[in-house]
Structure 1
Amino acid sequence: MIHQYKNNDYNIVLDVNSGMIHVVDDLVYDIIELFEDNDTDTIIAAMMDKYSKPENAAKLEAPININDVIEAIEEIEELKKQGALFSEDIYKEYITDFKKRQTVVKALCLHIAHDCNLACKYCFAEEGEYKGHRELMSYEVGKKALDFLIENSGSRRNLEVDFFGGEPLMNWQVVKDLVAYGREQEKIHNKNFRFTLTTNGVLLNDDIMEFANKEMANIVLSIDGRKDVHDYMRPSRNGKGSYDLIVPKFEKVAESRNQTNYYVRGTFTRNNLDFSEDVLHLADLGFKQISVEPVVSLPEEPYAIREEDLPKIYEEYDKLAKEMIKRKKEGKGFNFFHFMIDLTGGPCVAKRLSGCGSGTEYLAVTPWGDLYPCHQFVGEDEFLLGNVFEGIKNTTCCDEFKLCNVYAKDKCRDCFARFYCSGGCAANSYKFHGKIDDAYDIGCDLQRKRVECAIMIKAAEAE
């Protein structure tokens, strides 16, 4: 399977199955388009006809002759022999065994607080309540959650725990106590906990920063970008904006962590389709690790992204990609999460085929100990898997998540981005289609565009 596109004056050819990427000239690009369905004579005739026309010939450094076409065809044939173009899909056979694979729990999202001190308009967690009631996780429940993770992690040594909410800093003492307990247990069981924290920053102070810098492998700091954009969508419960309060704190966190192992993470909506300006605003504030992601919301919400918004969003991604290339050359580069792509090794096969591992390797824990496939399923009764005291009871649901992969989804099989997005988000599929093995169509469109931009940036860097 081949995907071809042009971006920022680059002719890019992606061989989907091998992951090989080729930046080619116009002639090779055009030949590849015809290569699979036409014989050599037909391709030669088509190329000689096309490049004899003045409007096409004017783009060339030198006129095209038959030998040029033949040489290009031979190069393409050699790349095909090497498995770098038109390669076979080796994963179709692997998927049979993949479905039968044994999985262990390797990560938990601890809902340390079903409560929040902000009232973000797009919050999927209903301002921290998750279709339930406000509650803080007790130390006893959290401790049992870590025990559950250890007991269900098999021989895996590295385990991840994200302190999540609501707003986890509203239950900070329990966070500290659980980190201490985890450090004790990792020595006993030969495990290594990687703790992370997601916060809106309202309660951040120097003591919390000091502890987080010592114990948290990563920190996610929630901010949407420009002051007016952020304050409109992320007000406090009294209606006041939170931008001025959190920005100095976030700047201090980023610097204290040497501009690594953190993200400022925002959400853009229909209210700020010019979101590249928000990304660049965060970069101008000095942040080097940035993620601004599209809101996922049903169409009836006024801020929801709609299909007619896609051209504008594509334009913004292109604009952002070009600006990132420019800034990197100027020594002012930064990372944008959705443009980060590994073209050398990438994730393991299982991750490329099935994504985050929700419902199997990654679970969410409510303040009272209930287990769900991930934080976005919390409160959906049919996805209640069990609890940290008795373990997983709803194994049928887990098996359904295990079967989720790019070959189980009709929309993924012929998509060039399938090994980059791994089939997309099961929660988004459920939200829009009522089942976990479909795909959120607008999300797919945006993912494809982001992959194209990310590859183009790599091409520019290689040049």
Structure 2
Amino acid sequence: MKVTLSLTHRCNLACRYCYAGNSQKPDMPLATAKQCIDVALARIQPGESLDLGLFGGEPLLRFDLIKEIVEYIHRRALQTSTPVRIGITTNGTLLSPEILDYFADQGINLCFSIDGPQKIHERNRLFRNGNGSFAEVVRNLELALKRLQKVEVNAVIGPDTLADAPDSLDFFIQTGVPVIHFNPNIKAIWPHESFAHFKDVYDRMAEQYITCFRNGEEIALNVIDSKAVLFVKGGYSPSDKCAMGDGEWGIAPSGNIYPCERFIGEDDDHTFCLGNIQSGCDQTLQNALRGKRGNHRNDCTTCRYNRFCMSWCGCTNWFMSGASDMPAPVLCAMEKATIEAARRVFETLVRENNDLFADHLFNYVNVGDQRCRACRKREKPLRDQLGHTTL
């Protein structure tokens, strides 16, 4: 189960595309956070794990609360024998060596929100006084890469930064970031003429990815990896898809429960609010929500990209099309470009028998026999082990 606690609506930045809102409502009380953890642990089935995200606003404004939450969840996880993963998403401006030491000691995964080099990052990610945030973020990113075992970045792509995404990817590679996420600005108005640029942008990123693996440099890039693993699996399985409130919760500082943290916003539009952590989920609302998830766009069923298309993400669909079960045309264009770019990567590196790429994919996919690279290489070529998937 995945639970994301939005600890505060407050933030020291004023990002132009922020979907967390500018609410001045109170921060999450510790008692509410503890209750969220208890309820989540009670719902988990034997053998399952809890993925706990700490979010905002800017969660590091409440580092004191973070420490209390981490101490509590470790204790409760030990009592219930539940594996727990803790992750924090931050704008990166408030980190210090002391905070990084704490995250390292506690095994916390850290994700930076950074859009690329300074000229790209500061188009949208500014302090409230209008000053740029890049210098602080990149300084702390470099410190985190030295101190922590796992550091990720999340870059938002909008109509104004789409063409620059390959430059951002190059910056992250040169900086040494091992895990890179690019996600679209789901609240932006994407002009139709931008659709034609998706293919070129993702093809360029595919070439950068191929170059890394040819040079023996492993990177994790969501827009490629998320599709490449599907070519091994044969497409999305039901368990991969958005459960819209059943397998994932985003919880506002007030304790209100949403299917995803992206729906929290100002916590005043209760269209997708399922209830409150104190009173529990409203079963009538939850049942109604189950009928609004997935993809009910008829022409998608015959599309050759359907097995590999993330057309089922409820929050993405809602913000882009106005309906949680209807993918927008911009998502369709973006997904097609992503799938084709990933297929190019997959076919190229499989054809070249790139063992680093094989190991990379085997780390994502449960393929049964997880033998070492040398054993696999001796027995049969990479192309025979990974197979070949056509659209």
> Shared fold by TM > 0.5?
yes
Structure 1 unaligned regions, length at least 5:
1-105, 300-304
Q: Which has the higher contact order (CA 8 A, sep 6+)?
A: 2
**Does the residue aligned with 1:209 lie in a helix, a strand or coil?**
helix
Q: Distance in 1 between matches of 2:272 and 2:294?
A: 21
Are 1:180 and 2:71 counterparts? Answer: yes
**Does the residue aligned with 1:220 lie in a helix, a strand or coil?**
strand
Cα distance change, pair 140–231 in 1 and its aligned pair in 2 (3 A) = same
Cα deviations across residues 10-56 of structure 1 (Å, max 9, x unaligned)? xxxxxxxxxxxxxxxxxxxxxxxxxxxxxxxxxxxxxxxxxxxxxxx
Please, what TM-score do these two structures have when normalized by structure 1? 0.70
Q: Distance in 1 between matches of 2:95 and 2:13?
A: 14
Q: Distance in 1 between matches of 2:172 and 2:76?
A: 38
Partner of 2:94: 203
Cα deviations across residues 143-189 of structure 1 (Å, max 9, x unaligned)? 01101111222435311110011110011111111111111111222
**Does the residue aligned with 1:161 lie in a helix, a strand or coil?**
strand
Cα deviations across residues 48-80 of structure 1 (Å, max 9, x unaligned)? xxxxxxxxxxxxxxxxxxxxxxxxxxxxxxxxx
Partner of 2:50: 159
How many residue pairs match? The answer is 344
Q: Distance in 1 between matches of 2:83 and 2:234?
A: 23
**Does the residue aligned with 1:232 lie in a helix, a strand or coil?**
coil
Partner of 2:62: 171
Letter in 2 for 1:313: F
Which one of the candidate residues 247, 259, 263 is aligned to 1:377?
A: 263
CA contact 1:113–1:167 (8 Å) conserved in 2 = yes
Percent of aligned pairs sharing the same letter: 23
Are 1:115 and 2:10 counterparts? Answer: yes
Cα deviations across residues 212-268 of structure 1 (Å, max 9, x unaligned)? 22334532111000201111210001111010111021122123234xx33111112
Q: Distance in 2 between matches of 1:397 and 1:262?
A: 37
CA contact 2:293–2:312 (8 Å) conserved in 1 = no
CA contact 1:405–1:422 (8 Å) conserved in 2 = no
Q: Distance in 1 between matches of 2:191 and 2:107?
A: 37
Partner of 1:319: 204
The root-mean-square deviation of aligned C-alpha atoms, in Å, is 2.1
Partner of 2:161: 272
CA contact 2:198–2:337 (8 Å) conserved in 1 = no
Which one of the candidate residues 109, 129, 135 is aligned to 1:218?
A: 109
CA contact 1:371–1:386 (8 Å) conserved in 2 = yes
Partner of 2:145: 254
**Does the residue aligned with 1:117 lie in a helix, a strand or coil?**
coil
| Alignment map for 1:41-56 (pairs within 5 Å) | none
Structure 2 unaligned regions, length at least 5:
352-391
Q: Distance in 1 between matches of 2:258 and 2:43?
A: 15
Partner of 1:286: 176
Partner of 2:304: 416
Are 1:366 and 2:366 counterparts? Answer: no
Cα deviations across residues 352-395 of structure 1 (Å, max 9, x unaligned)? 4xx132311101111121111111222321222111112112x2
Cα deviations across residues 287-337 of structure 1 (Å, max 9, x unaligned)? 2221222212242xxxxx322012222111111111221232123442221
Q: Distance in 2 between matches of 1:366 and 1:428?
A: 19
CA contact 1:265–1:290 (8 Å) conserved in 2 = yes
The farther-off stretch of 110-119 and 281-290 is 281-290
Q: Distance in 2 between matches of 1:368 and 1:196?
A: 21
Q: Distance in 2 between matches of 1:407 and 1:432?
A: 13
Q: Which has the larger radius of gyration?
A: 1
Partner of 2:385: none
CA contact 1:197–1:216 (8 Å) conserved in 2 = no
Q: Distance in 1 between matches of 2:284 and 2:206?
A: 43
Are 1:396 and 2:287 counterparts? Answer: no
Q: How far does residue 202 in structure 1 lie from its aligned partner after superposition?
A: 0.8
The farther-off stretch of 206-215 and 179-188 is 206-215
Cα distance change, pair 257–382 in 1 and its aligned pair in 2 (3 A) = same
CA contact 1:405–1:423 (8 Å) conserved in 2 = no
Are 1:138 and 2:23 counterparts? Answer: no
Cα deviations across residues 85-128 of structure 1 (Å, max 9, x unaligned)? xxxxxxxxxxxxxxxxxxxxx1211001111010000111224x
CA contact 1:112–1:171 (8 Å) conserved in 2 = yes
Are 1:263 and 2:152 counterparts? Answer: yes
Q: How far does residue 407 in structure 1 lie from its aligned partner after superposition?
A: 6.1
